[in-house]
Structure 1
Amino acid sequence: MVLMFSEDPLNIDTPIVMVEMLLGEFWEYSSPMRNADKYYCLSIFGFFFLASVLHLISAADYVPIDKILLNCGASPQTTDADNRKWTSDIGSKFASSVGKSSTSTASTQDPSVPEVPYMTARIFQSEYTYSFPVASGHKFVRLYFYPASYLGLNPTNAIFSVFAGPYTLLKNFSAAQTTQALNYAFIVKEYSVNVPDENLDITFKPSSSTPNSYAFVNGIEIVSMPDIYSTADGTTMIVGQTTAFYIDNSTALENFYRLNVGGNDISPSGDTGLYRAWYDDSPYIFGAAYGVAQTTSPNMTIQYPSGMPTYVAPVDVYATARSMGPYIYNQNYNLTWIFTVDSGFAYLVRLHFCEVDPNITKINQRVFDVFLNNQTAQEAADVIAWTERNGVPVCKDYVVLVPSGAPQQDLWLALHPNIPAKPQFYDAILNGVEIFKVNDTSGNLAGPNPVPAPKQEKIDPSFPNRRSASSQSKNQNAIIGGSIGGGIAVMLLVGFFVCAVSHRRRPGGNSSSPSDGPSGWLPLSLYGHSHSAGSAKTNTTGSYASSLPSNLFRHFSFTEIKAATNNFDEALLLGVGGFGKVYKGEIDSGTIKVAIKRGNPLSGQGVHEFQTEIEMLSKLRHRHLVSLIGYCEENCEMILIYDYMSHGTLREHLYKTNKPPLPWKQRLEICIGAARALNPALPKEQVNLAEWASHCQKKGILDQIIDPYLKGKIAPECFKKIAETAMKCVEDQGIDRPSMGDVLWNLEFALQLQESAEESGKGFGGTDIEEDSFDEGCIGKKDPEASPGFDGNTTDSRSSGMSVSIGGRSLASGDSDELTPSSVFSEIMNPKGR
């Protein structure tokens, strides 16, 4: 049908013939009609039929005329993770016949780097041009770079420029410096350019000012795209001005950010034929005000309006959103995102909106303002007023001028309820964000290389701020072990080292300033960024229902808290921390003693930390962890209620106090319990402790810094296993650290070694450990040098599926409740919580 329309799009006979073909005999045997009437009816029918077909065509995904996927230096045909087929540039018609170039395979492969199109490259030691015969029109140009060593060349010498027709895409670009600064393993640069004729040249040119410089590229992608980012109609204004900004066929764009707000990542294969990647927006949210992630209700269908093709953005972008939440306190803060951009350029900011709340169907229910770089970009935005009903997408374009200055600057996007409109809900909503750099007057899009940050473990730029699926193949548990294994190791070291370490949580997020927004705190329910938080409702009195799970702990009123603490009597003060003061209190008519932590609005910690602590502790119930009983968030207060530790804290049992010291076995049990519970931060003091222990281990004096109380009470093999595990957990490279499963297995193995030694009645004497007894490869393996008293019948239960037998006892990983506990600190023995 498309072919017939394209051949004769205006000839009414075409749809008539099609209708006759569809109606067949029904038309022939229907009531007799004059020929003219027949054609008149057919014309009317054909008109509507044509309109409906054209609507279906416009609703389909975009089908690009040109789709070139060039895997440089690779075998003739390869397939990537999205099942797209790439062709090699070796012997390709696109390759240049002049210019010095060669191909090579990367010398190493980072675990996060996909095979295609990153593991082979074409290297240019002089200017080199690819020539692509394409149809005229707009194209996405994507360049793929993995800065490894090729042909023995130093990756830091790869400094070069890239040109596409009259546009400068990159200038003195260093892929090595860029990926290091952004903490990426590889990088994709995406551009939108218009090709006026039927040929697109892409030129790579090594830097003339850098000795031994060269250029390289791993993959080149060219995909036809519709003209969906044009502002040639003059309706798009520069924010803060009344001047229109024109993006037309002479303009080139570089994509900086493309976010699925309130939703999950969308891979290129999940796009609408344009192979765009959409990322989670949460890493870019400023401060603790995360808002509420929302999704469409089951009975709501996203319906694109007439004149808006579906390929503007996929359905998944419009089916999810982030709002401030239906709370009266929203007028006191903004929902804010921060994006780092190059200075001295104009940026096209496209915001995608779709009302997904089934309760919002009328105008003036949700009205808000949009600010870009602290200037009003849109006043009194009302999605329903734009679309007339919910479930209908719309996008709005704005242009922001970022002045010259520092190489990079922050671009702020903020939403705030429009108070003068007096909407039914003080709220705002956003579904998607796209940010494009616009070329300057000379056709340049190139910015400076970002300044490298301290070296960290690399991540996958296809999904920023997270590790790729490929790197997870190294062992997804190793990610956990890499991020929290150091914390576990520190807990192990604290267990038997004498060092006064204060465990305190690092405040998260940026430090605030008076210009950042209103001071003080807001109720936790404002910041619930889970789907359940969206279900909280307001009533006519302005109170609210908390989004937190009430079945796990109690929600105390502020009146109850004042009564429990005798109106926060200073005589009941237990201590003061970064979060605030901690009081001793009594609840339930004095039958239960509790510790009440009252947040200080001036502390470095805020709403996000408060919510995180509640959410984490609601999921963690263990005899060695203090239990969270409940919370209070009334009157802008942040209060946490815990079990009162009548026997004191762990710290009080480890250091020089009147409390009895902890036996070695109980310390082991605490470490195992903590390993099953984790994700503690690593304060500076703890990191120093680990370095100190590592230093002692290398000198062979690790046993000399054991708590004197434990001298002669630790089985040598048990100590050896614990020390090995701790040292492995604090390796510099995350890939060298054991997985959490390995850590847990070794802790349990060490406990069984200790118990077997105790049962055998073997005297420990000392715990002298030889320097060479720490075998790099013995973590989680059978110990070939088991001391007398152990039967040596050990196998790795993780690899073989068998249990481990030591001294006639079976060792297998299981729930912590299977352990026979020693005495615990809290008088309350119920690990399931209240």
Structure 2
Amino acid sequence: MAGTARRPLLVLLLVAGVAAIAESKVYTPEDRVLLNCGSTDGLDADGRRWAADTNDNTWLIDSGKSSLMAGADKMDTALPSTIPYMTARVFTMEAVYNFTVNPRDRHWLRLHFYPSSYNGIAADHFRFSVSTSTGITLLRNFSVYTYAKALSQGYVIREFSLPPTPAGFLTVTFTPEPMGNETYAYVNGIEVISMPDIFADPAIMVGFADQTVDIAGSALQTMYRLNVGGSYIPPSNDSGLTRHWYDDTPYVYGTTQGVVYRAGPHFQIKYPSEIAEYAAPAELYLGTRSMGSDARLNQNYNLTWTMEVDGNFTYVARLHFCELLLNRPNQRSFDIYIDNKTAQADADVIGMTSEKGVPMYRDYAVYVADEPMAAEGEAVWVALHPSVALRPQFYDAILNGLEVFKLNDSAGNLAAPNPEPSRLLAKAELGATDRGAALNSTGEDHTMSKVMGGTAGGAAAVGILAAICVVWYHERKDKEVPASAGGGGGGGSHTSGWLPLYHSHTSGKSSGHLAANLAGMCRHFSFSEIKVATKNFSESLVIGVGGFGKVYRGVVDGDTKVAIKRSNPSSEQGVHEFQTEVEMLSKLRHRHLVSLIGFCEDAGEMILVYDYMEHGTLREHLYMGGKPPLSWRHRLDICIGAARGLHYLHTGAKYTIIHRDVKTTNILVDGDWVAKVSDFGLSKSGPTTVNQTHVSTMVKGSFGYLDPEYFRRQQLTDKSDVYSFGVVLFEVLMARPALDPKLPREQVSLADYALSCQRNGTLPDVIDPAIKDQIAPECLKKFADTAEKCIGEQGIERPSMGDVLWNLEFAMQLQDTFEGGSSCGRRRPDQAEGGGGAGRPALEPSNSNGSTASVTTLATSSGTSRAHDTCVIVEETDDEVANGAAFSQLVRPTGR
């Protein structure tokens, strides 16, 4: 995103900790090699320069003669950057990269993989091993495709920390493994970077008195790196070590997740001499998660994190502490447990550091055996409990950061078997009918679904780069080679990774099993009926084109107008989007949601049949549609209707439903000018248990409307819809696209530009001239304030959709007051501004439990209805998945 209101990602994440971060040193690596394999050099989305590994370089021992340079056949929107993921070096035989390195330093080795087909070689045909000259096996019989698919990841980064190499060189060998008659290996990017010796001290072996584990001489694989009680910290804010630190929330176990605290911007972090400044960024130590202030409650539970790992390896859990509030010993003492064993009793951060603001960490080692019969796979558990023996002033515990590393075994091996495909994914591929139940089971399986993700390239959405990315992506799509690998994404049952979630596109047509699964949900049309309805898909009946395919106007059952959406064979949307749309809309019935009439899956087709929306999309009436502009009142009325639909999704159904693609082209208007939210192909069920705050999933949606917090962290909440709706509100006000690359840089992003204008007091100057003189000043203020809150940088800052709806209704009342009318009702676009006649449709208040009611006006005895005499009767909306509480009441919708 661009604009004066939002600075580049680095600045955004520095705001809270500028003073503290200035206290820590920045490490400058002596060796720093970033290879963009199979391509030329270039900058990634974080501004880091990657060198080409082309034949005239010396990285490949055979100068690349036994390999080929290939481009990915498809681009997934989960990628944080095109570099290094859209190109690869493909090997048909063993190949070696050679790096000259400082023999005294440890080094990060990061291998980047993007699961795609390359030059027509299917994604699932790559299987290989990777080893180093130091005798460490990093990967064995590794399938990026299987790994990413099972763990629902869009791309894979394997990070290793390798001990010093006395020979002064490091080789990385890729060995293809046989797959039938073919052998292929590949890599998209390689990083070799010097690192300070942050693993010099041995780790305490949990459960064995006075035993330690040597870390300094070991190779380690990073499994998890969590900013406890804080948000994502990007590599650019990591004191030169280029690490990703992720939010710990998905790993906190149980319903009681403690309390998060963050020190103020002027709090100073003071590194002691025995703790390297590079152990963790100062920003990590500025936030903490504690148990809370209830001493009785705290004594009855553990503050616990759980992280799935591979069996038969030793792991080191590094716990980071920094006391931010207390300053005397034994004010807060606690016990530390690793895998249900006491790692340290009576830990007292002040007792160990002498003063607040001083960071420290402790390393604990634990061996995790492989238990084939385990229901949920192996995991490392970290738990904290107040020390009862010491009787501290506060029965509490704290933690600031948590890292988990895998150590190589005695044979120099770090490799583990490929994970098993998730149960959810297997169920989806078999065409299970109850996806809602499957999603619920995933939510209950706490550790299965909680693979954490962050976008290292969050800055890819900054400024003009976002617009360029969109244009580049759509141009490339025209040249794409369809991927041979289908499949969909679900939660992984084995989450030993720690990178972004993945949901692969299904490029092929439906396999024919869905019709039986979806039978009974709604009407099943035959393909011949669809052909008759659309006059054999006549181009004259095309009323729109979207990511799914073309939309036709049609007629069924003789006189019923419908909209028919037919999947394009080359569309990036496929079976899962089709099934999601049918399942969602067949269970939801609401005045402000588009109604699904039926579907067709005959002859390999995927077709959806909806109620016909006579007035098309909201965008058509704002710009780019060639239609007369809507009045301000009509725009506000449509916004209120759309807000009601979204509010119902978030609160009125059995589970929260997150739309995930709210935009003006997905808000339709019917013949009576009633706004309806449409297109549920990307929708997700929200958290299904009280201890869940979000759903971890890959980023999907539309650029310009994407919630930046969701983009960075892959954590989806209902506040992601609120952000997108905030962009819609400004789009309605300013009548311009969410992203417009043709505009000056500071105006490319509507969200950033509108926010800047709002805060600078210049918003009235950029309002659509067609409505500028129609808006009541107080109405504009309420509307703009609401939109501004919706696009807050963090989800916690944004209002709920219910609050948004209330504010918009209040804005309408302010408009009514300004015009001298009543707040009970509003005009349709085909009615005169003066009112009279049959009156105006009345407001449709939302009840307290989130359901939205339809409204009918009660006419006076004379057959006419004056606005100020009108009251409304509220009737229960037909909702198959709501709680079912019927209600009926007379209301007079006056101001609150």
TM class, shorter-chain normalised? Answer: 0.5 to 0.7
Length, aligned pairs only: 506
Q: Does the CA-based 8 Å contact 1:112-1:468 persist in structure 2?
A: no
Per-residue displacement from partner, 1:623-682 (whole Å, max 9, x unpaired)? xxxxxxxxxxxxxxxxxxxxxxxxxxxxxxxxxxxxxxxxxxxxxxxxxxxxxxxxxxx9
What amino acid is the match of 1:323?
Answer: S
Of 184, 208, 227 in structure 2, the residue corresponding to residue 214 of structure 1 is 184
2:305 corresponds in structure 1 to 337
What amino acid is the match of 1:124?
Answer: F
Q: Given the superposition, is the C-alpha separation of residues 754 and 200 from structure 1 closer, same or farther in structure 2, using an over 3 Å criterion? A: closer
Q: Does the CA-based 8 Å contact 1:127-1:204 persist in structure 2?
A: yes
1:249, 1:720 → 2: CA distance?
A: 62
Q: Does the CA-based 8 Å contact 1:106-1:121 persist in structure 2?
A: yes
1:111, 1:57 → 2: CA distance?
A: 35
Q: Given the superposition, is the C-alpha separation of residues 227 and 720 from structure 1 closer, same or farther in structure 2, using an over 3 Å criterion? A: closer
What amino acid is the match of 2:316?
Answer: L
Q: Given the superposition, is the C-alpha separation of residues 185 and 831 from structure 1 closer, same or farther in structure 2, using an over 3 Å criterion? A: farther
1:752 corresponds in structure 2 to 673
What does 1:305-704 align with in structure 2 at a 5 Å threshold? 305-328=272-295, 329-357=297-325, 360-406=326-372, 408-453=377-422, 454-455=424-425, 463-464=453-454, 689=587, 694=596, 696-698=598-600
1:403, 1:684 → 2: CA distance?
A: 44
Q: Given the superposition, is the C-alpha separation of residues 167 and 57 from structure 1 closer, same or farther in structure 2, using an over 3 Å criterion? A: farther
Q: Does the CA-based 8 Å contact 1:148-1:155 persist in structure 2?
A: yes
Of 60, 63, 77 in structure 2, the residue corresponding to residue 111 of structure 1 is 77
Q: Given the superposition, is the C-alpha separation of residues 465 and 104 from structure 1 closer, same or farther in structure 2, using an over 3 Å criterion? A: closer
**Does 2:205 correspond to 1:238?**
yes
Larger radius of gyration: 1
Q: Does the CA-based 8 Å contact 1:321-1:429 persist in structure 2?
A: yes
Q: Given the superposition, is the C-alpha separation of residues 464 and 83 from structure 1 closer, same or farther in structure 2, using an over 3 Å criterion? A: closer
1:294 corresponds in structure 2 to 261
Q: Does the CA-based 8 Å contact 1:460-1:468 persist in structure 2?
A: no
What amino acid is the match of 1:87?
Answer: A
2:57, 2:617 → 1: CA distance?
A: 60
1:229 corresponds in structure 2 to 199
1:361, 1:57 → 2: CA distance?
A: 23
Q: Given the superposition, is the C-alpha separation of residues 292 and 88 from structure 1 closer, same or farther in structure 2, using an over 3 Å criterion? A: same
Q: Does the CA-based 8 Å contact 2:110-2:191 persist in structure 1?
A: yes
**Does 2:180 correspond to 1:182?**
no
2:224 corresponds in structure 1 to 257
- Find the residue that maps to 1:316 and give its secondary structure: helix
Q: Does the CA-based 8 Å contact 1:163-1:202 persist in structure 2?
A: yes
What amino acid is the match of 1:415?
Answer: L
Q: Does the CA-based 8 Å contact 2:113-2:157 persist in structure 1?
A: yes
What amino acid is the match of 2:453?
Answer: F
1:230, 1:103 → 2: CA distance?
A: 40
Q: Given the superposition, is the C-alpha separation of residues 115 and 57 from structure 1 closer, same or farther in structure 2, using an over 3 Å criterion? A: closer
Q: Given the superposition, is the C-alpha separation of residues 196 and 688 from structure 1 closer, same or farther in structure 2, using an over 3 Å criterion? A: farther
What amino acid is the match of 2:332?
Answer: R
- Find the residue that maps to 2:390 and give its secondary structure: coil
Of 66, 76, 79 in structure 1, the residue corresponding to residue 43 of structure 2 is 79
Q: CA deviation at 1:84?
A: 1.2
What amino acid is the match of 1:375?
Answer: K
1:230, 1:147 → 2: CA distance?
A: 36
1:816 corresponds in structure 2 to 809
Q: Given the superposition, is the C-alpha separation of residues 174 and 460 from structure 1 closer, same or farther in structure 2, using an over 3 Å criterion? A: farther
Q: CA deviation at 1:739?
A: 3.2
2:894, 2:417 → 1: CA distance?
A: 55
TM-score normalised over the length of structure 1: 0.54
Q: Given the superposition, is the C-alpha separation of residues 163 and 463 from structure 1 closer, same or farther in structure 2, using an over 3 Å criterion? A: same
1:832, 1:318 → 2: CA distance?
A: 47
- Find the residue that maps to 1:322 and give its secondary structure: strand
Q: CA deviation at 1:288?
A: 1.8
1:683, 1:717 → 2: CA distance?
A: 21
1:717 corresponds in structure 2 to 614
Q: Given the superposition, is the C-alpha separation of residues 347 and 831 from structure 1 closer, same or farther in structure 2, using an over 3 Å criterion? A: farther
2:57 corresponds in structure 1 to 92
2:327, 2:734 → 1: CA distance?
A: 61
What amino acid is the match of 2:246?
Answer: Y
Per-residue displacement from partner, 1:754-775 (whole Å, max 9, x unpaired)? 99xxxxxxxxxxxxxxxxxxxx
- Find the residue that maps to 2:182 and give its secondary structure: coil
1:107, 1:162 → 2: CA distance?
A: 24
Q: CA deviation at 1:420?
A: 1.6
Q: Does the CA-based 8 Å contact 2:126-2:176 persist in structure 1?
A: yes
Q: Does the CA-based 8 Å contact 1:718-1:753 persist in structure 2?
A: no
Q: CA deviation at 1:230?
A: 2.9
Q: CA deviation at 1:450?
A: 1.5
2:47, 2:319 → 1: CA distance?
A: 30
- Find the residue that maps to 1:413 and give its secondary structure: strand
- Find the residue that maps to 1:181 and give its secondary structure: helix
Q: CA deviation at 1:374?
A: 1.0
Of residues 314-323 and 683-692 in structure 1, the stretch that sits farther from structure 2 once superposed is 683-692
Q: Does the CA-based 8 Å contact 2:234-2:456 persist in structure 1?
A: no
- Find the residue that maps to 1:129 and give its secondary structure: strand
1:753, 1:830 → 2: CA distance?
A: 19
Q: CA deviation at 1:742?
A: 2.8
Q: Does the CA-based 8 Å contact 2:99-2:169 persist in structure 1?
A: yes
Q: Given the superposition, is the C-alpha separation of residues 248 and 112 from structure 1 closer, same or farther in structure 2, using an over 3 Å criterion? A: closer
Q: Given the superposition, is the C-alpha separation of residues 698 and 68 from structure 1 closer, same or farther in structure 2, using an over 3 Å criterion? A: same
What does 1:720-731 align with in structure 2 at a 5 Å threshold? none
Q: Given the superposition, is the C-alpha separation of residues 210 and 173 from structure 1 closer, same or farther in structure 2, using an over 3 Å criterion? A: farther
What amino acid is the match of 2:343?
Answer: A
2:30 corresponds in structure 1 to 65
**Does 2:130 correspond to 1:162?**
yes
What amino acid is the match of 1:171?
Answer: R
1:578 corresponds in structure 2 to none
What amino acid is the match of 2:26?
Answer: D
Q: Does the CA-based 8 Å contact 1:111-1:471 persist in structure 2?
A: no
2:207, 2:675 → 1: CA distance?
A: 71
What amino acid is the match of 2:598?
Answer: C
What amino acid is the match of 1:387?
Answer: T
Pairwise CA RMSD? 4.5
